[in-house]
Structure 1
Amino acid sequence: MFAVPDMQQVHDWFLHRGLPLVLTRRVRSRHLVERSAPMVSGVGALTAVTMLLAEVTGDSPDYGYALRLGVIAAVLIAAPFVLYLLHQLDSTRGEAGRRTAALTVMAVFVVVMPVTVSGWSAAAAAEAPAFVVITLLAIWLTYVGFGSIVAWAFRFAWVQLGALGTLMSRALPLLMLTVVVYFTGELWQLAARMTRQRLWQVIGFFALVALAFVVTTIRDEVRALREDRAEETDQAGLLAGTPLAVPAGTRITRTALSRAEQVNVVAVMVVSQAIQVVFFTAGLFAFFLALGVVAVPDDVAVLWSAEETCAVGQPPCAGTWFGIHVPIPQTMVHMSLFVAVLSGLYFTVSTSVDPLYRERFFDPLIADVAVSLAGRDAYLELEGRPAR
């Protein structure tokens, strides 16, 4: 047994490393409404800004409606900063103010947004339950620590961004192959006749395939880390400089991970790798959009896709992106997105056997998780409780 003077520092350390489910339910339940408000405000602000852009880029925008959306977006964007300032006040008044502000943010999202969109009507009343469900989902995600998992994954992916550049340079053969695929008339015809809803369904199918592959691979790596390489790690060395540091030579009892902890550890690794794949796919999407604009004239796009133009003798209809009009043909948007996601799936599978990817990204990820798991074992021993 060993003593840790500041348990709050330990809790913050686990949250910072994306392992919230190691903490007890009591710890994760503290100030749950206040901690959920920034996520609710973020979802609301993103929704309001998207609707605002869709409105002002439309054919006949309603500027009064756009102004109301802009005010709501500004309020929701400012809300997290106000909550942060109130959090700095340690007094009882500051805590009460933070709770009041959090409830106000949720009320704006649940009540004001539906009324702004649909007015005082039955439609607004019908939409309100959906906003309530989103709010409850945000509270539950905060309770399980979704925010800390994603924040840690983004920090790790950002640090390893240089590795992505190296891997993209090694992916040039794949890029050349997909460029050839991009200039295939049959795929342009498919993209022209595929609705955006069906396209997202196809992308979701590809994402599920990639996710299943990544989860299986990472689960095996975590099992090897806890079992095959367990005796090779120096726990005291791993925990040096952390709030759970122990004297050199100290042996900490290793216990099996609970199901929730297994999900947590796999989740942080999956999300960090998924962010890399998303960055890669987004880069390819931008590349193919630019390639299409430069290399595919409007008349060729119409010929390949056999689509109708908005008017005789006019270029193809402009595309949309989440309701926002963009000066790129809709077929080109669909084609670029489809080929980029297909390439992202190939990238996900191929990097699992790439030694450079393992050296530059996966091995540092495993080493970082090893520190977190050593801290988890020390925390359980400190608490004197078995794994949940």
Structure 2
Amino acid sequence: MTTDSAAAAEHWFLRNGLPYVLRPGTLVRRVWSRSAPALVAFAVVMASSILVVAVTGKHTIDIDGSPTRTEWFVLFVVVLVLPVAAAAGWLTNRIESTGRRRAASTVAVAVAILGALLGGPSALIFVDLAFDAVVIAVILLCTATGLGAILGWAARMTLTNLASIGALMLRALPVMLLTVLVFFNSPVWTMVSTISRARLWLALLFLFTIAAVFLVSNTLSRVRPILEPDAKRPEDANALAGTPFERLPDRPRRVPLSRPERFNVVYVVALSQVVQVLTVAIATGLIFCVFGLILISPELLAAWTGGGPSDGQFLGMTLPVPEALIQITMFLTALTFMYLAARAVSDAEYRGQFLDPLLDGVRQTLVARDRYRTYTARN
């Protein structure tokens, strides 16, 4: 294996979400260039803050129930900034040249600093610069520890399994019909309009934890057999055709995985399922939010909540959406996530469409890991 081949092998493991397979010290190399996609995405967000401050003259987004033309433009920017940032990061990730990725990282940091000087979440420049420094440090740390590679792999798996997500969306229809009863239940609206946002976040965290335990426990039972030394199959080697490991020598039994490697495998499979189920739950919540904006009038909202509609707060922004509607959307999203998590654990069709192909990919990656370990042990 040449130097270029070794670099290709390392890149292959990073793209497949198994950074802890690599030799010690590999993850801390080329951190600046490997961080380019996340840094570019962050730069897009900071550039949007420059635009918002230039248009509104304020560092906070505060839009009441009757937006002006300028405020509608700001809402348009808020809605588009995350998709545009994700697209910019994806395009940056397609850059093969290390030099160009390094240049992209440098330009992205420069734009982020400019965003702190001309925009940012605070009117105090030193606060915005400190915010920039913390975010950039977290991005570099995630890259150096391999967490960024795992999150990137989970995002790519979610995009490549949009068909499975569509099927899972159809499975969410029963709970959507059930939550209609919750949505048109005045005591629930009274509850969500009365409790504080902090208490609601605690309740959502509690529900999310229960559902995540379902998925992780199921993942452990499904992944554990393929981690065993005798779990290799003869046909697994054929899956490596066209990869940097195609011509490397193999061994009949798997090298026992270290504890970080076992954690890595379980984590990527569980994270992929959580992200997929959460994506469907959020989409379902947004459907109810739009449905509420269309159907619920101020008079009906006042009758349900016992008070007049108030502009909602979300992520520090004041939006022309009733606070009660935002709160019940969050609540219904959590309920949908719990239902789909339990369904994913028990649904054989879901396992056949999504989980089994995912485990086959992990099995292939572990065969590549064995060959990589065999090669590095000799060199």
Q: What band does the TM-score fall into relative to the shorter chain?
A: 0.7 to 0.9
Partner of 1:152: 153
Matched, 1:332 2:332: no
TM-aligned CA deviation for residue 353 of structure 1: 0.7
**Which letter does structure 2 place at the counterpart of 1:153?**
A
Partner of 2:118: 116
Matched, 1:210 2:211: yes
Alpha-carbon distance in 2 for matches of 1:84, 1:368: 21
- Output the aligned Cα RMSD: 3.9
How has the CA–CA distance of structure 1 residues 34 and 220 changed in structure 2, closer, same or farther, with 3 Å as cutoff? same
**Which letter does structure 2 place at the counterpart of 1:131?**
D
How has the CA–CA distance of structure 1 residues 4 and 229 changed in structure 2, closer, same or farther, with 3 Å as cutoff? farther
Q: Is the 8 A contact 2:46 2:116 kept in 1?
A: no
How has the CA–CA distance of structure 1 residues 290 and 101 changed in structure 2, closer, same or farther, with 3 Å as cutoff? closer
Correspondence list, 1:164-175, <5 A: 164-175=165-176
Q: Which of 295, 312, 315 is residue 322 of structure 1 equivalent to?
A: 315
How has the CA–CA distance of structure 1 residues 318 and 133 changed in structure 2, closer, same or farther, with 3 Å as cutoff? closer
Partner of 1:312: none
Q: Secondary structure at the match of 1:256?
A: coil
Partner of 2:28: 29
Q: Secondary structure at the match of 2:321?
A: strand
How has the CA–CA distance of structure 1 residues 384 and 297 changed in structure 2, closer, same or farther, with 3 Å as cutoff? same
Matched, 1:258 2:258: yes
TM-aligned CA deviation for residue 10 of structure 1: 1.4
In structure 2, the gaps of 5 or more residues are 53-59
Correspondence list, 1:3-22, <5 A: 6-22=5-21
Q: Is the 8 A contact 1:153 1:272 kept in 2?
A: yes
Alpha-carbon distance in 2 for matches of 1:120, 1:293: 30
Q: Is the 8 A contact 2:17 2:150 kept in 1?
A: yes
Q: Is the 8 A contact 2:63 2:320 kept in 1?
A: no
Identity %: 28
Alpha-carbon distance in 1 for matches of 2:259, 2:241: 27
Alpha-carbon distance in 1 for matches of 2:324, 2:122: 38
* More off after superposition, 162-171 vs 44-53: 44-53
Alpha-carbon distance in 2 for matches of 1:118, 1:227: 50
Matched, 1:300 2:300: yes
Question: CA deviation digits over 1:138-179, x for unaligned, max 9?
Answer: 111011233332332233222322222223223322222111
**Which letter does structure 1 place at the counterpart of 2:241?**
A
How has the CA–CA distance of structure 1 residues 43 and 263 changed in structure 2, closer, same or farther, with 3 Å as cutoff? farther
How has the CA–CA distance of structure 1 residues 229 and 49 changed in structure 2, closer, same or farther, with 3 Å as cutoff? farther
TM-aligned CA deviation for residue 377 of structure 1: 0.9
Alpha-carbon distance in 1 for matches of 2:195, 2:343: 28
Partner of 1:313: none
How has the CA–CA distance of structure 1 residues 273 and 180 changed in structure 2, closer, same or farther, with 3 Å as cutoff? same
TM-aligned CA deviation for residue 87 of structure 1: 6.8
TM-aligned CA deviation for residue 203 of structure 1: 2.6
In structure 1, the gaps of 5 or more residues are 310-315
Alpha-carbon distance in 2 for matches of 1:342, 1:23: 39
Alpha-carbon distance in 1 for matches of 2:355, 2:119: 46
Alpha-carbon distance in 2 for matches of 1:100, 1:124: 26
How has the CA–CA distance of structure 1 residues 113 and 4 changed in structure 2, closer, same or farther, with 3 Å as cutoff? closer
**Which letter does structure 1 place at the counterpart of 2:149?**
S
**Which letter does structure 1 place at the counterpart of 2:142?**
L
Partner of 1:106: 109
How has the CA–CA distance of structure 1 residues 119 and 157 changed in structure 2, closer, same or farther, with 3 Å as cutoff? closer
**Which letter does structure 2 place at the counterpart of 1:239?**
L
TM-aligned CA deviation for residue 56 of structure 1: 8.2
Partner of 2:284: 284
How has the CA–CA distance of structure 1 residues 324 and 128 changed in structure 2, closer, same or farther, with 3 Å as cutoff? closer
Partner of 1:39: 38
Question: CA deviation digits over 1:317-343, x for unaligned, max 9?
Answer: 333443455443221121122112211
Q: Is the 8 A contact 2:21 2:261 kept in 1?
A: yes
**Which letter does structure 2 place at the counterpart of 1:266?**
V
TM-aligned CA deviation for residue 368 of structure 1: 0.8
TM-aligned CA deviation for residue 370 of structure 1: 0.6
Alpha-carbon distance in 2 for matches of 1:265, 1:55: 41
* More off after superposition, 53-62 vs 376-385: 53-62
Question: CA deviation digits over 1:203-228, x for unaligned, max 9?
Answer: 33333333333222212322111229
Runs of 4+ in 1 over 6 A off after TM superposition: 2-5, 58-63, 76-87, 118-121
Q: Secondary structure at the match of 1:177?
A: helix
Alpha-carbon distance in 2 for matches of 1:62, 1:195: 30
How has the CA–CA distance of structure 1 residues 247 and 263 changed in structure 2, closer, same or farther, with 3 Å as cutoff? closer
Alpha-carbon distance in 2 for matches of 1:350, 1:276: 13
Alpha-carbon distance in 2 for matches of 1:28, 1:251: 26
TM-aligned CA deviation for residue 80 of structure 1: 6.8
TM-aligned CA deviation for residue 357 of structure 1: 0.6
**Which letter does structure 2 place at the counterpart of 1:364?**
P
Kindly name which structure, 1 or 2, has the bigger radius of gyration based on alpha carbons: 1
**Which letter does structure 2 place at the counterpart of 1:284?**
T
**Which letter does structure 1 place at the counterpart of 2:302?**
V
Alpha-carbon distance in 2 for matches of 1:227, 1:35: 32
TM-aligned CA deviation for residue 86 of structure 1: 9.2
Alpha-carbon distance in 2 for matches of 1:240, 1:262: 25
TM-aligned CA deviation for residue 292 of structure 1: 1.9
How has the CA–CA distance of structure 1 residues 154 and 37 changed in structure 2, closer, same or farther, with 3 Å as cutoff? closer
Alpha-carbon distance in 1 for matches of 2:120, 2:8: 46
